[in-house]
Amino acid sequence: MALGKCVLLGVSVLTLGLILGSQCAARIDPKTIVGVWLLDEGEGDDASENERHGKLTGKPKVVEGKFGTALDFSGEGDTVKIADLAEILPAKVVTITLWVKIGDHGKNPDVFSLNPGEPGRISVAIWDKQIFWHFGVGGKWIVIRFIDEEWVGQWKHWTFINNAEDNFMAGYIDGEKATRIGGISGEYEQRGGDFHIGGRPEASFSGAIDDFGIFNTTLSEDDIKMIVDRGLERAALFQGVESAAKLATIWGGLKALQ
């Protein structure tokens, strides 16, 4: 075998090892996905296997997102309504992640919401320039963080966790822990009602949202940072597809060297 082929073979084997190694590294388990709404191309489709597709209400606009495109909500009733999501929402442990670009937050809007006005609601709201998070029965509103004025018009990644097994609630901004409060958590007992991304018609969000995901586990800080760095599509959905394509290419090259 010529020296050049030996070098190429060595590089290919090394690359193959790195790809296989990356598959063994930490990644988000697809079985923990409740739903993934990439909000690309003006659609409210769920990209996960659960296929809990949403329908647009009002006229949210397609804008440039953090990853691909996003939906921009006017604050005048625009939402993505997911009618059957409540049936599969986890009761005790949940992580919700999304990219947010705040617009006019002076109206104290919800950013997403299910069963608003009821004790068992699931919601993130902006009140008095603060981010509040509430999950289920027994849970209380907790403050995640004050909103800096410089956030307006800038993409920020928000993550919200409720864990009723270990009894805590938490929030992350751009992959960094903003708050964690022990001795408080909620359980989702109600079934039914519409889940709204973009608030709710009577308290809707003004600004853009991208890459909205729900998981039935407490994502680790590494998982959250992977979503921030790679986006939901790469972090949770298609890692295996991308790697399979790379493996096929390398394997074909190795066979050609024989």
Whether the pTM exceeds 0.85: the reply is no
pLDDT at 237: 85
pLDDT at 240: 47
Q: Give the residues of the chain that fall short of pLDDT 70.
A: 1-26, 105-107, 238-258
CA pair distance 173, 110, nearest whole angstrom: 17
pLDDT at 189: 85
- The CATH number of the structural domain formed by 30-218 is 2.60.120.200
For residue range 39-89, what is the model confidence (pLDDT) as tens digits? 998 889 999 999 999 999 999 999 999 999 999 999 999 999 999 898 899
